[in-house]
Amino acid sequence: MSDLSVHIGKLILKNPIMPASGTFGAELTPLLDINRLGALVPKSVTVSARDGNPVPRVCETSGSMINSIGIQSKGIDDYVTHQLPAYRKFSPPLIASISGETIDEFETLAARLDAQPDVAALELNISCPNLRANGQAFGMSAEATAQLVRTVRAITDKTVIVKLTPNVTRIQDIAQAAEHAGADALTVANTFLAMAIDSETRKPRIGNIMGGLSGAAVKPLVVRLIYQVHQATRLPIIGSGGVMNGQDAIEMILAGASAVQVGTATFLQPNAMTTIIDDIDDYLNRHQIEHLTDLIGQVDLS
Amino acid sequence: MSDLSVHIGKLILKNPIMPASGTFGAELTPLLDINRLGALVPKSVTVSARDGNPVPRVCETSGSMINSIGIQSKGIDDYVTHQLPAYRKFSPPLIASISGETIDEFETLAARLDAQPDVAALELNISCPNLRANGQAFGMSAEATAQLVRTVRAITDKTVIVKLTPNVTRIQDIAQAAEHAGADALTVANTFLAMAIDSETRKPRIGNIMGGLSGAAVKPLVVRLIYQVHQATRLPIIGSGGVMNGQDAIEMILAGASAVQVGTATFLQPNAMTTIIDDIDDYLNRHQIEHLTDLIGQVDLS
Amino acid sequence: MKLFNAKIIANHPINARYWHMILDASMLDEHVAPGQFFHLQCGDAQQNPLRRPLSVFHYHQASATLEFLYLVKGSGTQQMTQRRPGDYMNLIGPLGRGFTLPEQGALLLIARGVGVATLHALAREARAQNKAVHVLLSARTANDLLTATALAEIGANVYTVTDQEGTSNLEQVRPRLEQLIHAEKIGALYSCGSRRLSKLAQDLAEKYHLKGELATEAHMACGIGDCYACACTIRSHGQLKTARVCSDGPVFPIEQVVIQ
Amino acid sequence: MKLFNAKIIANHPINARYWHMILDASMLDEHVAPGQFFHLQCGDAQQNPLRRPLSVFHYHQASATLEFLYLVKGSGTQQMTQRRPGDYMNLIGPLGRGFTLPEQGALLLIARGVGVATLHALAREARAQNKAVHVLLSARTANDLLTATALAEIGANVYTVTDQEGTSNLEQVRPRLEQLIHAEKIGALYSCGSRRLSKLAQDLAEKYHLKGELATEAHMACGIGDCYACACTIRSHGQLKTARVCSDGPVFPIEQVVIQ
Ligand SMILES: Cc1cc2nc3c(=O)[nH]c(=O)nc-3n(C[C@H](O)[C@H](O)[C@H](O)COP(=O)(O)OP(=O)(O)OC[C@H]3O[C@@H](n4cnc5c(N)ncnc54)[C@H](O)[C@@H]3O)c2cc1C
Ligand SMILES: Cc1cc2nc3c(=O)[nH]c(=O)nc-3n(C[C@H](O)[C@H](O)[C@H](O)COP(=O)(O)OP(=O)(O)OC[C@H]3O[C@@H](n4cnc5c(N)ncnc54)[C@H](O)[C@@H]3O)c2cc1C
Ligand SMILES: Cc1cc2nc3c(=O)[nH]c(=O)nc-3n(C[C@H](O)[C@H](O)[C@H](O)COP(=O)(O)O)c2cc1C
Ligand SMILES: Cc1cc2nc3c(=O)[nH]c(=O)nc-3n(C[C@H](O)[C@H](O)[C@H](O)COP(=O)(O)O)c2cc1C
Ligand code: FES
Ligand code: FES
């Protein structure tokens, strides 16, 4: 047994594996040993209840999927009164993903959740491609990112994680803006803006026309983004995008990630995350590495 | 037999299928009926001879590949004296892909090739992720793109096609910059900056650390880019990225492409392009569509 | 609900478009209700990241067999046809809320195409409880009228209509159903597989004040209620709200379903 | 060069890591030289966009059989092991430049691991022309000493060294090879499969003014000379230049190869 623990801001996770927001919920209980996870990340919450986007909301593409759920949320009140308590029975720290259409909304959410002892950290979803037209998001502008992060930082001492969008020219600039504005960690990255058309019906295969691409196909893009962000900032990075097995997780850690989120893989194998934790443990034993932290960013460029 | 012909600037192609630069050469002659193609696009040429990047220059990822050839070129003199003549025996129009590190180099190349009757059009590769550090390219800046296109436009009356990079926040802005600067058509898009690490050796799987992702995995991203560019400009679009079969080509045409390039698919099946032409013809017959042009941009958003 | 591997006992085509798969479900230790479904891994993990939902066609607890009837549609179901007896299928289930039987009266099942796969299990359950079952089967061609014989064998009354014969249009189907409702003491209506027929069933249920249930479909990711991929709109206590087909459905009271 | 499907006649493991595949190559109407290779589609088109290059292990024109000896390494070769007799492999080939025999003298082949797959065809060709063949086989373990018996059967003189026995290090191999060069009228040296041994062969060829050839490897995309994926540096007329392993090689004159 190697030491799999990692630091993300003020949190110490017992291992680097956690769910990606939007792909996880307490409904997994019969299929997954949730207490083995490094952290819990429920679906992004918004201030008011939202219905989400038109159906179909998911489609399958080659080695990947597109989703346009559009943050279906019952709003922050329901989150605090019903959802947080449902996770109380689990031991891993809970990272609350929050999403808004304005900086004020992020501020409101952060203030509410700062007061919740059940919330260990906040993940700011500034990168959802499914909220505004053409996949626009806060995370596409360094200034908007900085302003948003500064606002949230002023409100809470909890660990603040900023989830970046991959749909930018230079992710390094956004990462640095978040770092200077006071972020404790970065999630790299949200989904890639994508589209698929059924050639027979000629209709988009997603009701909302475009959606976010996730799954195995995006991993080489995400590994590159992690590597770029790791070179540009000193913040711990949570890799997200295309991790299907332990090897994929190790690849992201070598590129610079301290922890790794798993989303799409859970749809296929609800217990993918615990399998990945076992894979990582095997890898460390096989390579006689005592601490997982010794691998972070250790891609061999010689 | 439906009418598969399409217009790209001053060119009329007998069908929309052409090779993607860097994946095609006269060596295919024994394996592919080159005369059936809509156009020919040889490997990008540079002013001086270049050796290209360190090996390995390709690796396979899930449903895709990464390449970092780095524009291995014998230089424009060799291109004009040896390579162009090798294509003279084929009937489809030749689109010369040119690549440079400065605007002056593009200017030099355009001037040389403007004088070549064998060259029907120029494709400006302003988007190669393998030339400069961290995948930087002209095509990441709207101003640089505009300046470069204006320079080339001033030199040649031949059809000028600008090959855009997908690695930007808003491809629409770059597309419009190219349009206003006088481009006749746009290729959407070059490869996606990517990276893969071998978890056993810990080394990058590409000698140059990063490279460009192509193949089936990128198609949903490219379809989205085509759709966005088609909404933002009136220029004909050549789709490029992940087309493996006729259905994929139709999908891009519905999204707004007038023509489609095929790259990675040729590595697997050297005759992929003629199979795709047959598939498209079948599709048009089955759907009783007389002219392929009636499909361009006809995604049904109702 | 359980994640498990089930050995394939049989897997063969029943006509040009439909296949039938029988699994050894001895791993299953839960009741399976008609209308519930399983979420199946059909293909290669990397290539097909999404599972496919299939209704229980038949679950026989004594012999521990679980059966599916499936339409070969795209890459997932195509890959299912490649699986041989002895291979294993990876399943999650049983999932969702199934049908409920009427307290009294006969059942009228209105199925189109592969919709009968879902209603078949209900017919069996009702017959096992000695309730009268009437099934209107609609399909494109006579060949696509699935399981008519099997339904007749268990004692259901089967009425078939097809596009080919020109008998499947609403103008002809509606009076036939109304006649059945009048003549056969129908206690509840059930429908699956066609928007048109579901709408008709909804109308009839309202008109004749009958209990009714519809089995709905949606593209799914998780299949267990976590991701909201499978959203649908339902009408409940006069209000429209969003429900999840996978966990709030797939069977809903007929008056709740908003048919677009 | 041709794109064709070849039916699998046999495909089985020869030890824990190596497999042997025999194809019906009656579609082939070209000469196949030792050292040439074929570019094989090993897996699913979407999942594995790249072909895999494999040297001709043996091509028997009379029986129209084409054989490969392959190391099971990653996803491509793993999928090759799944193919059964009667299935088809899709191939491009023969590709590249093969070996040339010495005008006179015996051949000394220096192979490590699966490198012998490539040199085996050369040994056969030389024996068919009645030239003396000496083969030094190096491997990790005695189990990985491939085709030693087959080589002996065709009349090659086989010398084996392994890491396991501690006989494969250069200090022991070098004098052995020099002794052979002195004793056996060696006319040419050939090597494949190990950078260390190739370097040694290069040294010996230079020292004893012998003809020599090396079979090189590179990651490939097209396999036919179009894409420049397989670049390597060669020394030609005192100048370094870039060559393509797939079409300028994979066999190069030993003095031209720049071994990193
Ligand atoms: C609760 C439920 C029960 C079902 N029961 C049956 C059954 O018993 N027999 C049967 O033949 N079919 C049934 N279906 C439909 C079946 O799930 C689809 O036909 C199947 O998923 C198609 O997969 P594919 O890969 O062959 O097709 P593709 O069109 O290639 O599938 C692509 C994607 O779209 C999804 N998809 C396509 N059509 C449907 C659909 N109608 N409903 C939901 N998702 C879809 C797939 O799951 C997949 O994610 C059921 C659907 C639901 C929701
Ligand atoms: C001219 C030539 C002849 C060869 N002959 C033989 C032979 O007869 N028997 C044999 O066992 N092997 C031979 N090899 C090596 C063989 O091509 C690789 O072992 C094989 O491609 C590995 O594929 P994989 O999917 O199993 O491994 P992976 O490591 O998963 O392959 C991933 C990618 O890397 C490439 N790759 C990995 N290793 C090599 C390598 N050594 N050379 C080239 N590309 C590589 C693959 O082609 C693929 O594109 C030869 C290579 C070359 C270039
Ligand atoms: C169905 C679905 C819903 C998602 N919802 C959210 C969300 O609410 N908030 C968010 O930050 N990311 C959301 N994401 C993105 C994931 O958290 C994750 O970043 C992405 O899927 C990449 O990881 P993967 O390839 O492992 O799935 C969603 C992804 C999917 C597939
Ligand atoms: C090996 C390789 C070499 C390439 N070289 C070039 C090049 O020289 N110039 C260029 O504009 N694009 C080059 N590209 C990009 C392709 O032209 C094409 O845009 C990309 O591969 C996407 O299409 P595909 O998915 O069909 O391969 C290259 C791609 C590959 C795979
Ligand atoms: S499919 Fe995930 S909630 Fe229904
Ligand atoms: S592999 Fe394409 S040139 Fe050699």
Tens of pLDDT, residue by residue over B145-184, are 999 999 999 999 999 999 999 999 999 999 999 999 999 9
Structure tokens given for C19: 């296949």
Cβ-Cβ contacts under 8 Å for C81 (sequence gap 6 or more): C11, C13, C19, C72
Rounded Cα–Cα distance for residues B295 and B288 (Å): 11
What residue spans define the domains of chain C? 2-95, 106-218
Residue B56 CA: distances (Å) to CA of A11, A138, B52, B68, B205:
39, 38, 11, 8, 7
Going from the Cα of C249 to the center of ligand 5, the distance in angstroms, rounded, reads 10
pLDDT of A78 reads 97
Note if A128 is an active site residue.
yes
Determine contact, residues C236/C256, Cβ cutoff 8 Å: yes
Instruction: State pTM to two decimals.
Output: 0.97
C44 with D46: Cβ contact below 8 A: no
Report phi then psi at D212, rounded to 5.
-160, 155
How far apart CA C182 and CA D67 sit, in angstroms, is: 75
Is the pLDDT confidence value at C144 over 90? no
Sheet containing C106-112: order of strands: C157-162, C133-139, C106-112, C186-192, C211-215, C251-253
- The CATH fold assigned to D106-218 is Rossmann fold (3.40.50)
Residue A241, annotated as binding a ligand: yes
Q: Is B40 on the interface with A (CB under 8 A)?
A: no
Q: Report the first-to-last Cα separation within chain A, whole angstroms.
A: 30
In percent, the amount of chain B with pLDDT more than 70 equals 100
Residue D244 near chain B (CB below 8 Å):
no
Pocket test for ligand 3, best of A17, A18, A23 (most atoms within 8 A of CB): A23
- The pLDDT assigned to B181 comes to 98
**pLDDT tops 90 at residue C206:** yes
Going from the Cα of C194 to the center of ligand 1, the distance in angstroms, rounded, reads 14
Cβ within 8 Å, pair C220-A58: yes
- Cβ contacts (< 8 Å) between A223 and chain B: which residues? 194-197
Q: Which two tokens stand for residue D238?
A: 């005192």
Q: What is residue D103's three-state secondary structure?
A: coil
Contacts of D136 (CB under 8 A, 6+ apart): D108, D109, D110, D111, D159, D160, D161, D173, D176, D177, D180
For residue A113, the distance in angstroms to the closest alpha carbon of chain B comes to 31
pLDDT at residue B131 tops 80: no
For the four alpha carbons of C46, C51, C52 and C55, in that order, the dihedral sign comes to positive
Bridge-based pairing state of the strands C88-95 and C18-24? unpaired
Q: Which residue of C has its CA nearest to A57?
A: C229
Best of D219, D230, D257 to mutate for ligand 2, by most ligand atoms within 8 A of CB? D219
Across the interface, of A194, A218, A298, the residue whose CB is closest to B224 is A194
Residue A53 confidence (pLDDT) above 80:
yes
In chain C, what is the straight-line distance between the N-terminal and C-terminal CA atoms, in Å? Answer: 31
pLDDT band at A47 (very low <50, low <70, confident <90, very high): very high
Among residues D148, D212, D208, the alpha carbon closest in space to that of D181 is found at D208
CA dist D122 and D33 (Å) reads: 8
Taking a contact as any Cβ pair under 8 Å apart, which residues of chain C between 65 and 84 contact chain A? 75-76
Closest ligand to Cα A28: 5
**Exposure string for C202-213, b = 16+ CB within 10 A, e = fewer:** bebbeeeebbbb
Q: Would you say D161 and D168 are in contact if contact means Cβ atoms under 8 Å apart?
A: yes
Contacts of A268 in chain C (CB under 8 A): 41, 45, 48-51
Ligand 1 contact via C229 beta carbon (within 6 Å):
no
The alpha carbon of A113 and the centre of ligand 5 are apart by a number of angstroms equal to 26
| B71 CB near ligand 4 (under 6 Å) | yes
Question: Which residue among B140, B220, B227 places its CB closest to the CB of A66?
Answer: B220
B288 part of contact set with chain A, CB < 8 Å:
no
D221 Cβ closer than 6 Å to some ligand 4 atom: yes
**Contact status, residue B262 vs residue B272, Cβ threshold 8 Å:** yes
Cα(B81) to centroid of ligand 6, in Å? 22
Q: Rounded CA gap, C11 and C22, in Å? A: 6
| Closest to C125 measured CA to CA, from C218, C188, C210, C217 | C188
Q: What is the pLDDT of residue D146?
A: 84
* C-beta of residue A217 within 8 angstroms of C-beta of residue A60: no
Cβ count near B198 (within 10 Å): 16
**Cα dihedral angle (D115, D117, D121, D122), rounded to 10 degrees?**
10
Residues 6+ apart with CB under 8 A from C56: C32, C33, C34, C35, C36, C37, C38, C66, C67, C68, C94, C118, C121
Q: Whose CA is nearest to atom 53 of ligand 1?
A: C217
Reference C256, options C192, C181, C206; nearest CA is C206
Under 8 Å between Cβ of B181 and B149: yes
Q: One-letter amino acid identity for C192?
A: C
Tell whether residue A9 is among the known ligand binding residues. no
In order of A145, A302, B199, B208, D203, the CA distances from B204 in angstroms are: 31, 10, 9, 8, 31
State pLDDT tens for residues A86-137. Answer: 999 999 999 999 999 999 999 999 999 999 999 999 999 999 887 777 778 8
Q: Is the pLDDT of residue B132 over 90?
A: no
Find the mean pLDDT for residues B74-92. 96
Tokens describing residue C63: 């012999």
For residue B103, the model assigns a pLDDT of: 94
* Res. C82 pLDDT band, cuts 50 70 90: very high
Ligand 3 atom nearest the C-alpha of A242 is 25
Coil, helix or strand at residue B122: strand
Instruction: Sheet containing B119-125: give its strands across.
Output: B17-19, B259-262, B237-240, B185-188, B159-164, B119-125, B94-98
Would you say the CB of residue D192 lies under 6 angstroms from ligand 6? no
Condensed to tens digits (0 to 9), the pLDDT of residues B57-82 reads 999 999 999 999 988 889 999 999 99
Phi-psi region of D64 (alpha: psi -120 to 50; beta: other; left: phi over 0): left
What does the mean pLDDT of chain A come to? 96
**Topology (CATH level 3) of domain C2-95:** Elongation Factor Tu (Ef-tu); domain 3 (2.40.30)
- Give B194's contacts in chain A (Cβ within 8 Å): 220-221, 223-224
- pLDDT (0 to 100) of residue A128: 84
D135 alpha carbon – ligand 6 mean position (Å): 30
Distance CA A237, CA A222 (A): 12
Pocket of ligand 2 (CB under 6 A): B 59-60; D 37, 50, 52-55, 68-71, 73-77, 114, 117-118, 217-219, 250
The full DSSP string for A97-131 is: EE--SSHHHHHHHHHHHHT-TTEEEEEEE---TTS
How many Å apart are CA A148 and CA A100, to the nearest integer? 10
pLDDT at position A51: 86
| The pLDDT value given to residue B1 | 76
Quick one: pLDDT at residue A71? 80
Q: Counting atoms of ligand 1 from 1, which one is nearest the CA of C219?
A: 44
pLDDT score of B48: 95
Q: How far is the CA of B95 from the centre of ligand 6 (A)?
A: 22
Hey, is D55 helix, strand or coil? strand
C69 lines ligand 1 (CB under 6 A): yes
Length of chain A: 302
**Three-state SS sequence of chain C:** CEEEEEEEEEEEECCCCEEEEEEECCCCCCCCCCCCEEEEECCCCCCCCCCEEEECCEEECCCCEEEEEEECCCHHHHHHHCCCCCCEEEEEEEECECCCCCCCCEEEEEEECCHHHHHHHHHHHHHHCCCCEEEEEEECCHHHCCCHHHHHHCCCEEEEEECCCCCCCHHHHHHHHHHHHHHCCEEEEEEECCHHHHHHHHHHHHHCCCEEEEECCCCCCCCCCCCCCCEEEEEECCEEEEEECCCCCEEEEHHHECCC
Q: Determine contact: D226 vs chain B, CB below 8 A.
A: yes
What is d(CA C24, CA C171) in angstroms, rounded to the nearest whole number?
Answer: 43
Asked whether A69 and C227 are in contact (CB, 8 A), the reply is yes
Listed in sequence order, the residues at least 6 apart from A41 whose beta carbon sits closer than 8 Å to its beta carbon are: A18, A19, A20, A21, A24, A94, A95, A96, A97, A123, A261
Q: For residues C2 and D235, what is the distance between their CA atoms, to the nearest angstrom? A: 64
pLDDT of residue D47: 82
- Residue A55's identity, in one-letter code, is V
Pocket lining: C229 vs ligand 5, CB cutoff 6 Å: yes
Residue with tokens 């012999």: C63
* Residue B52: band (very low, low, confident or very high) from pLDDT cuts 50, 70, 90: confident
Annotated binding site of B for substrate: 43, 67-71, 125, 190-191
Q: What would the pLDDT profile of C12-27 be if each residue is shown by its tens digit?
A: 999 888 999 999 999 9
CB-based contact B257:B299 (threshold 8 Å): no
Apex D15 CA angle, D14 and D20, nearest 5? 30
Please report, in angstroms and rounded to a whole number, the separation of the first and last CA atoms in chain D. 31
Q: Please count the other Cβ atoms lying within 10 Å of the Cβ belonging to residue D88.
A: 14
B6-295 CATH, one of 3.20.20.70, 3.40.50.300, 3.10.20.30, 2.30.29.30: 3.20.20.70
Using CB atoms and an 8 Å cut-off, which of residues 39-58 of chain C contact chain B? 46-47
For residue A62, which residues of chain D lie inside 8 Å, CB to CB? Answer: 46
**Measured between CB atoms, does D229 come within 8 Å of chain B?**
yes
Distance CA C25, CA B292 (A): 51
Pairing between β-strand C133-139 and β-strand D65-71 as defined by DSSP bridges? unpaired
Report CB contact under 8 Å: C92, A64.
no
Q: What angle do CA B201, B202, B203 make, to 5 degrees?
A: 90
| Stretches in chain D below the pLDDT threshold 70 | none
Catalytic: which of A18, A65, A124, A128? A128
Instruction: Report B:87-146 residues touching A (Cβ under 8 A).
Output: 134-135, 140
Task: Kindly state the average pLDDT of the residues B256-270.
Answer: 98
- Check residue D41 and give its pLDDT: 97
- State pLDDT tens for residues B174-206: 999 999 999 999 999 999 999 999 999 999 999
Q: Do B52 and D230 touch (CB under 8 A)?
A: no
Tokens of D239: 């100048």
Q: Where are the domains of chain B?
A: 6-295
Task: Select from A59, A67, A267 the Cβ nearest to the Cβ of C51.
Answer: A267
At A39, the amino acid letter reads A
A242 is in an annotated binding site: yes
Tokens standing for residue C14: 């029943």
**How many whole angstroms from A98 Cα to the centroid of ligand 1?**
32
**Spatial strand order in the sheet of D2-13:** D52-55, D37-41, D88-95, D2-13, D18-24, D65-71, D58-60
Ligand 5 within 6 A of C225 CB? yes
* Equal fold, C2-95 vs C106-218: no
